[in-house]
Amino acid sequence: MIAYSSMSKCQLLPLVVKRAHVTDYLADALSKLRDENPNFRIVTFLDDLDRCTPENALEVLESIKTFFDIEGMIYVIGMDSESINSIIKKKYGDDFSNT
C-alpha cells in the first residue's frame, strides 16, 4: 500500500491520468470520418419528448447539450416546446429567455 500523503507532487504526477470525456472521443472519431467525407453526419432523432414528464424531458435535453458543439452532429427533436417552457421557467426562473 502506498502512503500518498508522504509522496511529493512530482511523485504523484505519474499517478494522475487525465481522462478524456466521451465527447472528446466522439468528436475525434467524427472528425476522422469527416476528413474522408466532409458531408458525413450523425443524425439523432428524439421524438415525442413532450410525452415525457417535463422534468424528464428537461433532463434529456440537459444531458445531450454536451454533444451540441460537435461538428457533424445533428439533432432533430420532436416536442411541443410549450410543454417544457413551464418547467424551464420553474427551474431557471421567470427571466429565462428562449432565444
Q: How do the domains of the chain map onto residue ranges?
A: 38-99
- Closest C-alpha to 79, from 55, 97, 99, 52: 52
Stretch 74-85: mean pLDDT = 83
pLDDT in tens, 29-64: 999 999 999 999 999 998 888 888 878 888 888 888
Q: Which residues of 51-67 are buried (b: 16+ CB within 10 A; e: fewer)?
A: ebebeebbebbeeeeee
Q: Is the pLDDT of residue 79 over 90?
A: no
